[in-house]
Amino acid sequence: MTARRWLKVAGSFAAPGASGLIPGSRRMSSRRKTDHLERTANNYRQMAVFPAKVCGMMNESDSVRRLRLSIPHPDFSFKAGQWVDFFIPGQEKVGGFSICSSPALLRREGVIELAVKYTTHPPAHWIHHSCRLDSEVEVRVGGDFFFDPSPGGGAVDLLLVAGGVGINPLAKTAQDLLFQSSIVEACEEFPGRFSCDFHLTHQSEEVEPQLQPYISGGRISEQVLREHLESLAGAGRRETLCYLCGPPPMIESVSGHLQRLGVPPHRVLFEKWW
C-alpha cells in the first residue's frame, strides 16, 4: 500500500448535515482517465463560472506551488474539501485543483488558495511556469466530498487520514510536507482539541526538532488507527467521523482497517473518482 503520511485531527465540531454525506462521496472506482472534466462528469458542480485574479504565489516545496486567488463575487462559495475547475484564457485543457484554504478565509478576505503540484499537464504547467500576479482566470466549484457542519447539529470528533502529494497534499519525506507549520501550530495552540501524526515511509535524514514529536515511520497500520480511535473514544462520547483522502490503494487499505475496527460504513467518508 502507498499510505505515506497520516494526519489525525481530533476536535469538537458541529456535525455535518445530510449534504455532507452524499452517496457519491463514497464512490469506489479506480478507473483512470486523463481529463479532469471527464473524470468528474458525475460530480456536483456550481452552475456559474466566476472570474478570479491571482493575488499571491509561493512555493510550498520544490514541486508544489500555492496559488492565492481573489474572487470578489458575492455568490461564490464552497465547502471544506471541494475543488475548482480551473479555466485559463487561451488554454483548452481545464485544470482540477483542491481548495486548500478554509471557507472562513473566503468570507474574511474574498480569496481562496490552491496547492498545485508540478506536472506536464497544461494547467499545472501554466501555474508553475507562466502564471503571474494579476493573471486572470475563471473558476467553478465542484465536488461531493466535504465537511459541512450545520449550526444546530451535535458535536462530533473528526479523524482525518490523508496521503499522497497533490490531494490536499501530504508526502514521503519531511521536506515534502506541506502546511506543516500551520498544522503544528494548531496542535500546540489547542492541545486538547487537535493532534496529528505525520507518517513518512522514505525519511532517511533527521527532521527538525519542532517536527520530531509529530513524526512516525512506516505506513498507516490497523493498530495505529485503533490507538487513535480509542483515544477519541476516551476523550468523550461524541460520534467520530472518518474522512479519507489519498491514492486508491490507501483508501482501500484504511477503509478496510476501519471496518474491521468496527467503524460503521456511514461514518467512513471518502472520494475516489480518479
For the segment 69-84, the average pLDDT, to the nearest whole number, is 95
Q: Which of 142, 171, 186 is where one domain is finished?
A: 142
State residue 51's pLDDT score: 98
Q: Is pLDDT at 260 greater than 50 in this prediction?
A: yes
Q: Are residues 252 and 213 in the same domain?
A: yes
Q: Are residues 70 and 130 in the same domain?
A: yes
CATH number of the domain at 113, please. 2.40.30.10
Q: Are the C-beta atoms of 155 and 14 separated by less than 8 Å?
A: yes
As for how many domains the chain has, the answer is 2
For the segment 11-36, the average pLDDT, to the nearest whole number, is 42
Residue reference for cell 478496510: 256
For the segment 2-27, the average pLDDT, to the nearest whole number, is 35
Residue 161 is assigned to a structural domain of this protein: yes
Contacts 24+ apart (CB under 8 A), 263-268: 263/229, 266/21, 267/239, 267/240, 267/241, 267/242, 268/26, 268/242, 268/244
Please, what is the angle between helix 222-235 and helix 248-260, to 10°? 60
Residue 72 is assigned to a structural domain of this protein: yes
Residue 121 is assigned to a structural domain of this protein: yes
State residue 10's pLDDT score: 36
Q: Are residues 157 and 134 in the same domain?
A: no
**Cα–Cα distance measured from residue 263 to residue 157, given in angstroms and rounded to the nearest whole number:** 13
Residue 36 is assigned to a structural domain of this protein: no
172-210 per-residue burial string, b: 16 or more CB within 10 A, e: under 16 = bbbebbbbbeebbebbeeeeeebbbbbbbbebeeebeee
For the segment 205-213, the average pLDDT, to the nearest whole number, is 78
Give the mean pLDDT of the chain. Answer: 81
State residue 95's pLDDT score: 95
Residue 8 is assigned to a structural domain of this protein: no
Task: Output the nine-digit C-alpha cell for 136.
Answer: 486572470
Q: Are the C-beta atoms of 161 and 245 separated by less than 8 Å?
A: yes
State residue 165's pLDDT score: 59
Q: Are residues 114 and 172 in the same domain?
A: no
Q: Are residues 113 and 188 in the same domain?
A: no
Q: Which residues contact 62 (CB under 8 A, 6 or more apart)?
A: 175, 176
CATH number of the domain at 191, please. 3.40.50.80
* Tens digits of residue pLDDT in 99-145: 999 999 999 999 999 999 899 999 999 999 999 999 999 999 999 98
Q: Are residues 127 and 160 in the same domain?
A: no
Task: Output the nine-digit C-alpha cell for 197.
Answer: 501524526
Residue reference for cell 456511514: 266
Q: Which domain holds residue 88?
A: 45-142
Q: Which of 118, 142, 166 is where one domain is finished?
A: 142
Q: Are residues 210 and 231 in the same domain?
A: yes
Q: Are residues 87 and 222 in the same domain?
A: no
The count of other CB atoms within 10 Å of the CB of residue 266 is 9
Q: Are residues 110 and 163 in the same domain?
A: no
The count of other CB atoms within 10 Å of the CB of residue 113 is 18
Task: Output the nine-digit C-alpha cell for 258.
Answer: 476501519
Which of the residue ranges 11-20, 74-83, 91-100, 198-207 would you say has the lowest mean pLDDT? 11-20
Q: How confident is the model at residue 274 (pLDDT cuts 50, 70, 90)?
A: low
Q: How confident is the model at residue 5 (pLDDT cuts 50, 70, 90)?
A: very low
* Tens digits of residue pLDDT in 219-243: 888 999 999 999 888 766 678 999 9
Q: Which residues pair with 69 in a beta bridge?
A: 54, 112
Q: Are residues 253 and 158 in the same domain?
A: yes
Helices (H) and strands (E) in the chain, counts: 6, 12
Residue 127 is assigned to a structural domain of this protein: yes
Nearest by Cα to 14 from 189, 152, 124, 184: 152
* Tens digits of residue pLDDT in 31-75: 444 688 988 888 899 999 999 999 999 998 888 899 999 999 999
Which of the residue ranges 3-7, 27-31, 126-130, 174-178 would you say has the lowest mean pLDDT? 3-7
Residue 163 is assigned to a structural domain of this protein: yes
Q: Which of 89, 109, 142 is where one domain is finished?
A: 142
Q: How confident is the model at residue 16 (pLDDT cuts 50, 70, 90)?
A: very low
Q: Are residues 77 and 133 in the same domain?
A: yes
Q: Are residues 255 and 153 in the same domain?
A: yes
For the segment 133-162, the average pLDDT, to the nearest whole number, is 88
Which of the residue ranges 13-17, 111-115, 208-212 would you say has the lowest mean pLDDT? 13-17
Please report, as a single letter, which amino acid is at residue 2: T
State residue 72's pLDDT score: 94
Residue 237 is assigned to a structural domain of this protein: yes
For the segment 175-187, the average pLDDT, to the nearest whole number, is 82
